[in-house]
């Protein structure tokens, strides 16, 4: 009778690797279809007319199988450089409603930002598979998109 060793490592285990980054930016949440009162009722302080800032944190998670020889899914330094080039350099110290091409016409909630970041980053990834992007607007509030 054979014994199933459930704690044996899998041949090619899938592992999830995450890089954290941060940026600071301003935004205003409002929908031009709503009245001022409706915008305030919907978005609260984030609807104030002149905008305000957040210290955003993001977590980019890539799934993959560690290479046999390297033990890595991808080089985290390269992932960090890619996030910097494709996202952070475009949003850090910017006004998200006005200054960022890929956010034009989008209400910059954490939800919408997570989706927009995914669409920018996913085609540029050369190793691993993009698994999730988390956007923290505050330490307690974040949105996660998994494609
Ligand atoms: Ni806000």
Per-residue pLDDT reduced to its tens digit, 69-110: 999 999 999 999 999 999 999 999 999 999 999 999 999 999
Q: 15-145: CATH homologous superfamily?
A: 6-pyruvoyl tetrahydropterin synthase/QueD (3.30.479.10)
CA distance 43 to 28: 9
Instruction: Determine which one of 46, 52, 57, 86 is catalytic.
Output: 46
Span 20-56, pLDDT tens digits = 999 999 999 999 999 999 999 999 999 999 999 999 9
Q: What is the DSSP string of 43-101?
A: HGGGG-TT-EEEEEEEEEEEEE---TTT--SS-HHHHHHHHIIIIIHHHTTEETTTS-G
93 flagged as catalytic: yes
CB atoms within 5 A of ion ligand 1 belong to 46
Taking the CA atoms of the chain, what radius of gyration do you get in angstroms? Answer: 19
Return d(Cα 63, Cα 127) in angstroms, integer.
9
Q: Active-site residue among 36, 52, 85, 93?
A: 93
* 8 flagged as catalytic: no
pLDDT of residue 104: 96
| 22 catalytic residue (yes or no) | no
Q: Where are the domains positioned within the chain?
A: 15-145
């Amino acid at each position: 009778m054979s014994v199933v060793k459930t704690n044996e490592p899998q041949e090619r285990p899938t592992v999830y690797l995450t890089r954290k980054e941060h940026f600071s930016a301003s935004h205003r949440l409002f929908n031009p279809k709503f009245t001022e009162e409706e915008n305030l009722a919907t978005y609260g302080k984030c609807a104030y007319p002149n905008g305000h800032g957040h210290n955003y944190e993001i977590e980019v998670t890539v799934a993959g199988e560690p290479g046999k020889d390297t033990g890595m899914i991808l080089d985290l330094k390269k992932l960090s450089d890619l996030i910097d080039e494709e996202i952070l350099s475009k949003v850090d110290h910017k006004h998200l409603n006005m200054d960022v091409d890929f956010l034009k016409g989008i209400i910059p909630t954490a939800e919408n930002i997570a989706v927009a970041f995914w669409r920018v980053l996913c085609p540029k990834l050369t190793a691993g598979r993009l698994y999730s992007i988390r956007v923290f607007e505050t330490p307690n509030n974040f949105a996660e998109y998994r494609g």
